Structure 1
Amino acid sequence: MEENKTALIWKMAIGSAVSWELAKLIGSDHPYLAPLSVVLCLQSTIDQSIRYSIHRILGTAIGIILTAYLASHLDMNGWILGLLLLGSTFIAKWLRLDETVLHQVALTVILIFTFERKSKDYSIDRILDTIIGVIITILIHMLLSPPDFTKKAVAATEKLALQLSDILLELSNWVHLEWGGEKGQVMKYKINLFLQELHNTKATIELATKSLKFNPLGKKHAAILTMCKMKMEKMNNWYQYVSTIVGTLKDWEKAGHLLSNDQIEVGNHLKTLSEYFRNLGEGKEGNLPSSMNLLQSTPPPSHQVYREFFYLETRNLMQKLL
């Protein structure tokens, strides 16, 4: 994130300087309008900058068309300004334009109302300088350290996988070492925290995906984000699995019937899953060992319903992970 902030600072400074000089070069008497567009249109991603730029140009054009003539022939007072704002923004709303456009229309109306009678060229300068600022913004955003949140997405995905590994290891220790200690509530709390991080990581990956749109590095990093999404799908499947399993283990613990053989097998399976997700979190290939042969085996009918349910859910999870 610090790298992105540093890049943003440089882009605002360079873009403002270039756009100001370019606006002066074409004869603008209000060159400050160009860097104003640069500062406003520099968004988190190139895609967002382009959309915001379109809204800004559209809002500016509508505001000028509806206000420029009237502003030079009406008295300057708050009531006239309010009526102009009301009329122009309602027209924009009637055209079903975005809320961002409404703000740009209102801003343009205020500035045109204030400066048009002082400088007859203000309206023309405003639209031309806005276009200059927008063009410079998009070019500098694409060519100078284009925003890319791929590294952040990868780090968030790996961190989530390690968090998941720790929870599975704790579940294994519950079965192996702490059975009868009523640890189910603690595990439910940790799983709920994991769910929050799951949503946050999905949002980070989504932002990273958007940051690659119109980005020269987009194709290079798209494959990395595809891998992150595949890992997220596995962790989402795990969340559904473990949410069910914890309830089963709680009921099994209350029943008090846990044979030593079951204790070893169930605990080991959870530990194996923990190691699988730890490998994912460390950027390694996550392979389930052949010793975890739940896909081929079925618990004998003599086993209790809790064991049968645990094995059934674990088999379903493994089918999704493979």
Structure 2
Amino acid sequence: MMKSEKIQNKTSLVWKMAIASAVSWEAAKLAGSDHPYLAPLSVILCLQPTIDQSIRFSFHRIAGTAIGIMLTSFLVSHLPMNGWMLGLFLLGGTYIAKWLRIDVTVLHQVALTILLVFTFERNAKDYAFDRIIDTVIGVIIAILVHMFLFPPDYTKKAADSFQTLARQLSGTLSDLSKWVQSEWGQGKGNLMAYRMNNLLQELHTAKEMLQTASDSLKFNPVRKKHKIIISSYQIEMQKLNAGFEYLSNIVKTLKEWEKEGELSSSDKRELGNDLQVLSEYFAGFKGIQQGETDNWKQKEQNMLLESLRSDMLSHPPPGHKVYKDSFFLETKKLLKRL
């Protein structure tokens, strides 16, 4: 993420936390709570990176709080208050939560509630009741503020990651073309294999960012266009994924082929040109604006693919030239996926 984006995200979190905490405190007081600090506590905990995560965490917090109160509030006033008794309460409460196959986040909330109720219920009247009411108030206000005040949106970061992947994919194909045409026999295979490892990491990063961006737009009422854009990127990502798989297979083939040392001038020219065409095709993934691809670039990309498909048709059926046949079969398979 760019430095300015990080600063902007932190700034929005600061404002959200302050505003939602203040509002939830006052709302809890209006609801008659003697412990209004419990509402902003929920706000602070529930403000997660995305609205979807905040909602899920909020449900877990409410569920864990309710379970912890039910298990603790009645018994705590009749039992001695010491560390051993607290340990027994935590062991029993969390084990019941585990037996119910509750999410680990809820398990933590159960433990936290047991601790606080165990500590305060004896000396603070209606603490358990206030805790559940104030938790609900804090959760609702946190989600509303998160949804309508600078709602999280990772569309730009996902777009940047996608375009970085496309550039690296295009660059690797161009380097393969150069390797075949002018650097054959110089042992570039290991370097290309290393490049593939870096490309794989970039592929994972781009996929994760697209998923994060998609999640960040769930329950986001003001970013409908961005949902369309992210959906388009996810479709295009399938092509980049196909390109990576193609590259991975081709690099292995070329490494084995280089060991044999047999690559004629015509093969160098033919394979190098094919790889360069694919490089130019993936270089055309410049991003998606307003939910639509660049029509001019799309037409140019289609022309590149058509020219390559024509070349594939002129290639004879697989024969005794194993490496060359493997190269062209992989290329044909890629073309079917683009």
TM-score, structure 2 length as denominator?
A: 0.90
RMSD (Å), alpha carbons:
1.8
**1:132/1:302 CA distance change after superposition, 3 Å:** closer
1:221 corresponds, among 207, 221, 226, to 226
* Maintained 8 Å contact 1:160/1:281: no
> For 1:288 and 1:188, how far apart are their aligned partners in 2?
30
> For 1:7 and 1:132, how far apart are their aligned partners in 2?
21
> For 1:104 and 1:220, how far apart are their aligned partners in 2?
36
Say whether 1:85 aligns with 2:102. no
> For 2:242 and 2:194, how far apart are their aligned partners in 1?
18
Say whether 1:299 aligns with 2:321. no
In terms of mean alpha carbon deviation, does 70-79 or 185-194 score higher?
70-79
> For 1:252 and 1:92, how far apart are their aligned partners in 2?
59
**1:196/1:219 CA distance change after superposition, 3 Å:** same
2:248 corresponds, among 234, 243, 249, to 243
* Aligned-partner residue type, residue 172 of structure 2: I
In terms of mean alpha carbon deviation, does 30-39 or 146-155 score higher?
146-155
Say whether 1:98 aligns with 2:98. no
* Maintained 8 Å contact 1:273/1:288: no
> For 1:247 and 1:92, how far apart are their aligned partners in 2?
51
Say whether 1:315 aligns with 2:332. yes
**1:303/1:234 CA distance change after superposition, 3 Å:** same
Percent identity between matched residues is 60
> For 2:73 and 2:166, how far apart are their aligned partners in 1?
58
Q: How does 1:133-144 map to 2 (within 5 A)?
A: 133-144=138-149
In terms of mean alpha carbon deviation, does 84-93 or 264-273 score higher?
84-93
> For 2:268 and 2:76, how far apart are their aligned partners in 1?
82
Q: How does 1:158-169 map to 2 (within 5 A)?
A: 158-169=163-174
Match of 1:76 in 2: 81
After superposition, what is the alpha-carbon deviation per residue over 1:257-287, rounded to whole angstroms, capped at 9, x for unaligned? 3222221121111111111111114654343
**1:302/1:111 CA distance change after superposition, 3 Å:** closer
* Maintained 8 Å contact 1:294/1:315: no
> For 1:201 and 1:79, how far apart are their aligned partners in 2?
49
2:194 corresponds, among 189, 197, 200, to 189
**1:300/1:136 CA distance change after superposition, 3 Å:** closer
* Aligned-partner residue type, residue 82 of structure 1: G
* Maintained 8 Å contact 1:7/1:145: yes
2:178 corresponds, among 159, 169, 173, to 173
1:145 corresponds, among 144, 147, 150, to 150
Q: CA deviation at 1:117?
A: 1.4
**1:301/1:196 CA distance change after superposition, 3 Å:** closer
After superposition, what is the alpha-carbon deviation per residue over 1:78-117, rounded to whole angstroms, capped at 9, x for unaligned? 1111111112212222222111111111111111111111
Gaps of 5+ in 1: none
> For 1:29 and 1:315, how far apart are their aligned partners in 2?
72
After superposition, what is the alpha-carbon deviation per residue over 1:151-199, rounded to whole angstroms, capped at 9, x for unaligned? 1111101100001111011001101111111111100110111111111
Q: Secondary structure at the match of 1:287?
A: helix
Q: Secondary structure at the match of 2:302?
A: coil
Say whether 1:203 aligns with 2:208. yes
Q: CA deviation at 1:241?
A: 1.2
Match of 1:287 in 2: 302
Match of 1:113 in 2: 118
> For 2:335 and 2:83, how far apart are their aligned partners in 1?
68
> For 1:145 and 1:152, how far apart are their aligned partners in 2?
16
Task: Give the total of aligned pairs.
Answer: 321
* Aligned-partner residue type, residue 260 of structure 1: S
> For 1:259 and 1:96, how far apart are their aligned partners in 2?
64
Q: CA deviation at 1:300?
A: 6.9
Q: CA deviation at 1:304?
A: 3.3
In terms of mean alpha carbon deviation, does 61-70 or 290-299 score higher?
290-299
In terms of mean alpha carbon deviation, does 214-223 or 43-52 score higher?
214-223
* Maintained 8 Å contact 1:209/1:225: yes
* Aligned-partner residue type, residue 294 of structure 1: D
> For 1:181 and 1:220, how far apart are their aligned partners in 2?
49
Say whether 1:25 aligns with 2:30. yes
